């Protein structure tokens, strides 16, 4: 998994996040969108009301998409190339014109449709709020709707690239195969890949059923808010914040290893820079770059991550002829290089896997496989940027197939050459110093981008959820809020450094994060959402129950157990599968946590590769 939040919701046409506001006077910060979507509403909105307006929005989007396709012209090679190198302004103008509802569009001239909506005015309209009943500064609901759609410009092809950018991170796949063997490794990567697509499909169906121009879905927590209330949303946001902090900690640790390898020179015999100092160097860089509050200017950098990942894959594959990095394996795992390189069709025997013995090693490999597919956290944000969200399934299917192919090919290739001495990440298992240094430099470039993006979103969630809502801190768009941001960034990175410095082995902490958080957001939580969503949806009695948009009420025929029973029995096999899926994900989460914690405990007891020292853990 290359990234969680930022690459995906930044790298849209023109390199800007369409949800950010373009001028300082109008809150030039993505947190404005977060606060707007998570802010309190004047009344409680029912599940049925969300679905009512979502159905209207989807119907209007179908019409708008048909108009857009007709206006865009033929998709020949010349037009595709021009579109990839355009600033996106013409694309946004065409999307805005197509998005104007018929009743609104009839009052605008063709020139007004092309020029009035998609620029700063559109951002200002959306920033004014999402309430349908109020009219802020003379802005009508129709104008707000048109402006909101003008900001949705991503095609399904663009979103395919963004999903790939976010999820693709294959450098851990060879180590996972070294713990599992060929057969179990292929099976687990296949099963988790298929189930991650299924989870994405669930989130897509929920988005199409609950998102509307009146009540837009902006993030993962919005699903829980609409199905379970504000308490569930707070829980999800806190879990996101913890996950992002741990991701920054892992990046500090892994890049401390990269800097340490570079500093030791080609012989590898010198101590080089003290390992803690290596992590401090990376943390100091985070202090500086983390002061960037807005992500708009980092969009084009985020697009580099997929190409850096591919470059790393090719570099690692080209270096396997020189053999594995035995010194790194012995230092990190205590495995001596006294046996020939071996590979196994099934689970490796005791002493032939660095992730532990037998079942523990297999579970640690499973955790890394889980971590590899952890991108579902972003899907709501991606769909919120799409011109036609009904096409998201195409983006997801093609991206998952591509990512699955890269994981399997790269993992099997490296494991076939390095066997039980395969290292995680693969770039630090390269034996030749010059090639290893080139890989470490590429890794540093992509990692600092990812770390800054993670810390930016993670700190914003913490600030909005805790400091702003609970403690009354000023909004981040105000001068006082900006000062607090500048002060909190070093604190955030320092906490991440302490977490990373206390970890004795990268693979185990990555596995723990994968089991506890990534698995939950990718598998457990979508299954939980699916159970609630389809039971509530199918409990509605078509033709008898209806939503009244005038009074904002829904005439329920019954409540309680009878209603939920009817909803469950509408699709009993499907709902039962989701329950089994949910329970299976919980069990996998528990097993993954157990294996990672047990491995960490043994590493501490054996004094293997303690990070909080000058001795590097590799």
The answer to whether residue 515 scores a pLDDT higher than 70 is yes
What residues are paired with 547 via a beta bridge?
554
State the pLDDT confidence band at 356, using cuts at 50, 70 and 90: low
Residue 291's pLDDT is: 75
The answer to whether residue 526 scores a pLDDT higher than 50 is yes
Sign of CA dihedral 347, 353, 357, 359: negative
pLDDT tens per residue, range 527-540:
999 999 999 999 99
Residue 584's pLDDT is: 92
Residue 86's pLDDT is: 45
Q: Which of 451, 470, 449 is nearest to 459 (CA)?
A: 451
Mean pLDDT score of the chain: 75
Give the pLDDT mean for 195-215.
93
Q: What's the residue count for the chain?
A: 618
Q: Look up residue 146 and give its two tokens.
A: 């048109």
The answer to whether residue 13 scores a pLDDT higher than 50 is no
State the pLDDT confidence band at 397, using cuts at 50, 70 and 90: very high
Q: Which of 257, 173, 215, 194 is nearest to 45 (CA)?
A: 215
Choose the weakest-confidence range: 54-63, 224-233, 278-287, 455-464. 455-464
Contact 554, 537 (CB under 8 A): no
Residue 94's pLDDT is: 52
Residue 618's pLDDT is: 57
d(CA 478, CA 265): 48
Q: Look up residue 467 and give its two tokens.
A: 């400091």
Contact 169, 2 (CB under 8 A): yes
The answer for residues whose C-beta is within 8 angstroms of residue 563's C-beta and 6 or more apart is 539, 556
The answer to whether residue 438 scores a pLDDT higher than 80 is yes
The answer to whether residue 57 scores a pLDDT higher than 50 is yes
73-82, 134-143, 518-527: range with highest mean pLDDT: 518-527
Choose the weakest-confidence range: 166-175, 202-211, 500-509. 500-509
d(CA 7, CA 188): 26
Q: Which of 217, 176, 152, 172 is nearest to 13 (CA)?
A: 152
The answer to whether residue 227 scores a pLDDT higher than 80 is yes
pLDDT tens per residue, range 243-291:
878 888 888 887 887 888 788 777 655 667 888 888 888 888 888 877 7
d(CA 472, CA 551): 34
Percent of the chain surpassing pLDDT 70? 72
Choose the weakest-confidence range: 80-84, 492-496, 524-528, 585-589. 80-84
- Cα(first)–Cα(last) distance of the chain, in Å? 22
d(CA 442, CA 317): 15
Residue 209's pLDDT is: 94
Model confidence, pTM? 0.75
Q: Which residue has the higher pLDDT, 242 or 545?
A: 545
Burial 349-382 (b: 16+ CB within 10 A, else e): eeebbbbbeeebbbbbbbbbbbbbbbbbbbbbbb
State the pLDDT confidence band at 195, using cuts at 50, 70 and 90: very high
pLDDT tens per residue, range 405-423:
989 999 999 999 988 888 8
Other Cβ atoms within 10 Å of 597 Cβ, number: 15
* CATH T-level fold of 156-523+587-605: Amino acid/polyamine transporter I (1.20.1740)
Burial 423-458 (b: 16+ CB within 10 A, else e): bbbbbbbbbebebbbbbbebbbebbbbbbbbbbbbb
Q: Which of 513, 604, 25, 574 is nearest to 248 (CA)?
A: 513
Sign of CA dihedral 205, 210, 215, 217: negative
Choose the weakest-confidence range: 6-10, 483-487, 492-496, 501-505. 6-10
The answer to whether residue 45 scores a pLDDT higher than 80 is yes
Residue 524's pLDDT is: 92
Give the pLDDT mean for 383-401.
88
- Rounded to 5°, the CA angle 531-370-188 comes to 95
The domain segmentation of the chain, as residue ranges, is 44-150, 156-523+587-605
E strands within 258-364?
none
428-437, 440-449, 562-571: range with highest mean pLDDT: 562-571
């Amino acid at each position: 998994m290359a990234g969680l939040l930022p690459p995906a919701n930044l790298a849209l046409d023109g390199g800007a996040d369409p949800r950010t506001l373009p001028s300082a006077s109008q809150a030039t910060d993505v947190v404005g969108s977060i606060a707007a979507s998570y802010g309190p509403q004047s009344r409680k909105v029912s599940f049925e009301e969300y679905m009512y307006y979502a159905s209207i929005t989807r119907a209007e989007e179908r019409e708008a998409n048909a108009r857009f396709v007709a206006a865009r012209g033929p998709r020949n090679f010349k037009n595709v190339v021009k579109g990839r190198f355009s600033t996106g302004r013409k694309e946004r103008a065409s999307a805005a014109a197509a998005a104007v509802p018929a009743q609104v569009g009839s009052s605008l001239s063709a020139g007004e449709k092309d020029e009035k909506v998609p620029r700063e005015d559109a951002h200002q309209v959306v920033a004014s709020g999402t309430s349908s009943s109020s009219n802020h500064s003379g802005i009508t609901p129709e104008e707000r709707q048109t402006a909101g759609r003008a900001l949705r410009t991503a095609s399904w092809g663009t979103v395919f690239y963004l999903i790939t950018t976010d999820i693709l991170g294959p450098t851990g796949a060879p180590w996972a195969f070294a713990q599992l063997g060929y057969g179990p490794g292929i099976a687990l990567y296949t099963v988790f890949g298929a189930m991650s697509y299924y989870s994405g499909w669930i989130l897509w169906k929920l988005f199409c059923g609950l998102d509307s121009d009146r009540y837009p879905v902006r993030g993962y927590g919005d699903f829980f808010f609409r199905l379970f209330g504000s308490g569930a949303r707070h829980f999800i946001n806190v879990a996101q914040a913890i996950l992002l902090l741990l991701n920054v900690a892992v990046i500090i640790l892994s890049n401390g290893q990269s800097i340490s390898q570079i500093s030791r020179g080609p012989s590898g015999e010198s101590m080089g820079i003290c390992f803690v100092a290596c992590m401090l160097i990376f943390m100091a860089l985070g202090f500086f770059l983390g002061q960037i509050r807005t992500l708009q200017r980092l969009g084009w950098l985020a697009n580099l991550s997929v190409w850096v990942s591919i470059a790393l894959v090719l570099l690692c594959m080209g270096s396997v002829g020189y053999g594995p990095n035995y010194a790194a394996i012995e230092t990190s795992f205590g495995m001596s290089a006294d046996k020939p390189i071996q590979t196994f069709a099934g689970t490796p025997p005791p002493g032939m896997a660095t992730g532990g013995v037998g079942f523990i090693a297999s579970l640690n490999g499973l955790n890394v496989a889980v971590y590899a597919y952890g991108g579902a956290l972003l899907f709501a944000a991606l769909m919120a940027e799409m011109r036609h969200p009904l096409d998201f399934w195409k983006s997801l299917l093609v991206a998952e197939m591509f990512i699955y192919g890269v994981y399997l090919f790269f993992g099997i290739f490296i494991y076939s050459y390095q066997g039980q001495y395969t290292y995680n990440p693969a770039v630090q298992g390269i034996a030749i110093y010059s090639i290893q240094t080139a890989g470490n430099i590429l890794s540093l470039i992509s990692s600092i981008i990812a770390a800054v993006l993670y810390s930016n979103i993670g700190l914003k969630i913490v600030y909005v959820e805790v400091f702003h809502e609970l403690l009354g801190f000023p909004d981040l768009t105000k001068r006082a809020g900006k000062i607090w941001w500048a002060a909190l960034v070093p604190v955030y990175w320092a906490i991440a450094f302490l977490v990373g410095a206390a970890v004795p082995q990268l693979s185990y902490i990555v596995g723990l994060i994968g089991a506890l958080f990534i698995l939950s957001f990718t598998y457990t939580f979508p299954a939980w959402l699916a159970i609630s969503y389809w039971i509530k949806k199918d409990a509605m009695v078509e033709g008898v129950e209806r939503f009244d948009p005038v009074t904002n009420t829904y005439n329920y025929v019954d409540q309680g157990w009878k209603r939920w029973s009817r909803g469950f029995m509408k699709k009993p096999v499907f709902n039962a599968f989701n329950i089994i899926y949910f329970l299976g994900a919980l069990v996998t989460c528990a097993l993954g946590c157990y294996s990672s914690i047990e491995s960490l405990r043994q590493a501490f007891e054996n004094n293997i590769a303690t990070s909080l020292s000058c001795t590097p853990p590799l």
